[in-house]
């Protein structure tokens, strides 16, 4: 019987990770509060329970040889109590470092990454002081639980401040607004033997949610090379292992740390068909104790996120079965307009070719 990996979280990331673990001879048990979570369709065992349910977490850990997490908002305080008794090879430090934007920025700065200017903002007085120091435009973000544009407000001038004050019901951070040329992300997987890195993608967001990842990016190779090297040094310096994704803003040849995630990343989904190995497979290898494989890009690739508003278009593409068009649907029952329902990877496709042939198929 293969090694059993426990996955805290049953969303699409857990589903795709469970598929790779199975392909490599392992088993999975997943925890999620939703009885129809996508990962349950492929997991060998399931635990239905809330992420802050200590008994449910105990059941998951007891059923697994090794435990991982598929998203950041797992209560770190609970995992801290479990870490000493169960094998959580990534540890909880990268999770804790990513759960608080102020701690995350401090950690990035302390380990050699350039960040936008930032300051804590816990009430109106500290927000006003942060604005005085940083100036407009700036972005006010909740320090915890923000994702896909939620929990933040852009402050372009004094008129925007009153509308943002309700965010201060919880601790926040004010960040300098970076008028970036583009966004990019680096996905790394590391073990005690070394780090493998996936080709860097250029990310295009819409409504605060990732829309497209374009690989390779139309960017200065020296900038991209330095970004990867600094990311590796950061991962080593922090002592992180397993998977790490880092998002950057790129402006005038300089790159600025935006945020990190110690889990598979939406911008790395293109690797499933676009590379010789993918982010889920390398994380699976790490969790199973198998040697990592350095990925290689097979050709220009574009990944399109499928939100609820684009679900029918994606289903039509899947029905057409066209070469080089790889449709992944996550099996979620409720298709809200801005909910991630799947993704489509277009291989051997440049950004220009995507714009000419495929962009019109989706909601603009």
Scanning the chain, the segments in alpha helix (DSSP H) are: 12-23, 54-62, 76-83, 93-99, 101-110, 124-134, 161-164, 221-238, 271-274, 279-288, 311-320, 351-357
* pLDDT tens digits for range 299-328: 999 999 999 999 999 999 999 999 999 999
What tokens does 239 get? 């002592």
* pLDDT tens digits for range 176-206: 999 999 999 999 999 999 999 999 999 999 9
Mean pLDDT of all residues belonging to the chain: 95
3-state SS of 56-95 is HHHHHHHCCCEEEECCCCCCHHHHHHHHCCCCCCCCCHHH
Q: Are residues 251 and 338 in the same domain?
A: yes
pLDDT of residue 149: 55
Residue 279 lies in a domain: yes
Q: What percentage of the chain carries pLDDT values higher than 70?
A: 98
CB 42 within 8 A of CB 14: no
Confidence of residue 73 (pLDDT cuts 50, 70, 90): confident
pLDDT of residue 148: 55
Q: Are residues 227 and 320 in the same domain?
A: yes
Q: Are residues 188 and 295 in the same domain?
A: yes
Within 10 Å of residue 6's Cβ, how many Cβ atoms? 28
Within 10 Å of residue 54's Cβ, how many Cβ atoms? 14
Query: Distance between CA atoms of 31 and 40, rounded to whole angstroms?
Result: 9
Query: Distance between CA atoms of 27 and 307, rounded to whole angstroms?
Result: 30
Structural domain count, the chain: 3
Residue 102 lies in a domain: no
Do the strands 4-8 and 27-32 form a parallel or antiparallel pair, or are they unpaired? Answer: parallel
Residue 95 lies in a domain: no
Residue 108 lies in a domain: no
CATH number, domain with residue 43: 3.40.50.20
What tokens does 166 get? 């309700």
- How remote is the C-alpha of 169 from its chain's centroid? 26
Q: Is the dihedral of CA 11, 285, 96, 6 positive or negative?
A: positive
Q: Of 33, 34, 44, 53, nearest to 6 (Cα)?
A: 44
Q: Are residues 188 and 328 in the same domain?
A: yes
pLDDT of residue 25: 97
Q: Are residues 195 and 300 in the same domain?
A: yes
pLDDT of residue 187: 98
Confidence of residue 74 (pLDDT cuts 50, 70, 90): confident
CATH number, domain with residue 263: 3.30.470.20
Q: Of 361, 269, 271, 272, nearest to 317 (Cα)?
A: 361
Q: Are residues 270 and 138 in the same domain?
A: no
* pLDDT tens digits for range 229-283: 999 999 999 999 999 999 999 999 999 999 999 999 999 999 999 999 999 999 9
Q: Three-state DSSP class for 289? A: coil
> Over 80: is that where the pLDDT of 1 sits?
no
Distances (CA, A) of 142 to 72, 97, 208: 15, 15, 15
Q: Three-state DSSP class for 333? A: coil
Query: Distance between CA atoms of 8 and 26, rounded to whole angstroms?
Result: 16
Q: Are residues 152 and 208 in the same domain?
A: no
Q: Are residues 295 and 313 in the same domain?
A: yes
Average pLDDT on 107-121 reads 97
Query: Distance between CA atoms of 93 and 343, rounded to whole angstroms?
Result: 30
Q: Are residues 140 and 227 in the same domain?
A: no
CATH number, domain with residue 136: 3.30.1490.20
> Over 90: is that where the pLDDT of 72 sits?
no
Q: Are residues 220 and 312 in the same domain?
A: yes
Q: Are residues 320 and 213 in the same domain?
A: yes
Q: Structure pTM?
A: 0.95
Query: Distance between CA atoms of 303 and 210, rounded to whole angstroms?
Result: 10
* pLDDT tens digits for range 21-33: 999 999 999 999 9
What residues contact residue 326 under an 8 Å CB cut-off, 6+ apart? 272, 273, 344, 345, 346, 347
pLDDT of residue 87: 96
**Which residue segment(s) compose the domain that 70 sits in?**
4-88
What residues contact residue 242 under an 8 Å CB cut-off, 6+ apart? 68, 89, 90, 94, 189, 190, 191, 262, 283, 286, 287
∠ Cα 17 20 22 (to 5°):
110
Q: Are residues 196 and 134 in the same domain?
A: no
Within 13 A of 264's CA, how many CA atoms are on the CB side? 27
């Amino acid at each position: 019987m293969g090694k059993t990996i426990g996955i805290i979280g049953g969303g699409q990331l857990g589903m795709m990770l469970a598929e790779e673990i199975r392909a490599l001879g392992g088993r999975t048990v997943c925890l999620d509060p939703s009885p129809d979570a996508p990962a349950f369709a492929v997991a060998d065992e399931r635990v239905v329970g809330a992420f802050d349910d200590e008994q449910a977490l105990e059941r998951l850990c007891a059923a697994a040889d090794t435990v991982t997490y598929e998203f950041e908002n797992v209560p770190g305080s609970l995992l801290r109590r479990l870490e000493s008794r169960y094998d959580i090879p990534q540890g909880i430090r990268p999770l804790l470092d990513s759960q608080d934007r102020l701690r995350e920025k401090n950690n990035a700065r302390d380990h050699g990454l350039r960040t936008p200017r930032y300051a804590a903002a816990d009430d109106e007085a500290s927000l006003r002081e942060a604005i005085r120091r940083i100036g407009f435009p700036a972005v006010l973000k909740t320090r915890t639980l923000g994702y896909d544009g939620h929990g933040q407000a852009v402050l372009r001038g004094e008129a925007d401040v009153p509308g943002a004050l309700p965010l201060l019901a919880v601790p926040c951070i004010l960040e300098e607004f970076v008028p970036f040329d583009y966004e990019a992300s680096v996905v790394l997987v590391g073990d005690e033997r070394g780090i493998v890195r996936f080709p860097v993608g250029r990310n295009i967001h819409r409504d605060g949610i990732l829309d497209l990842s374009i690989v390779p990016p139309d960017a200065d190779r020296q900038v991209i090379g330095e970004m990867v090297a600094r990311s590796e040094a950061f991962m080593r310096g922090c002592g992180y292992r397993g998977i790490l994704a880092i998002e950057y803003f790129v402006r005038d040849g300089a790159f600025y740390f935006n945020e990190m995630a110690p889990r598979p990343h939406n911008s790395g989904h293109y690797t499933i068909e676009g590379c010789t190995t993918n982010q889920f497979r390398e994380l699976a290898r790490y969790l199973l104790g198998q040697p990592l494989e350095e990925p290689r890009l097979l050709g220009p690739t574009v990944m399109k996120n499928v939100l609820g508003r684009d679900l029918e278009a994606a289903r039509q593409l899947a029905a057409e079965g066209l070469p080089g068009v790889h449709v992944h649907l996550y099996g979620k029952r409720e298709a809200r307009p801005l909910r991630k329902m799947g993704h489509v990877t277009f291989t051997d496709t440049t950004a220009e070719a995507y714009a000419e042939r495929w962009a019109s198929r989706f909601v603009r």
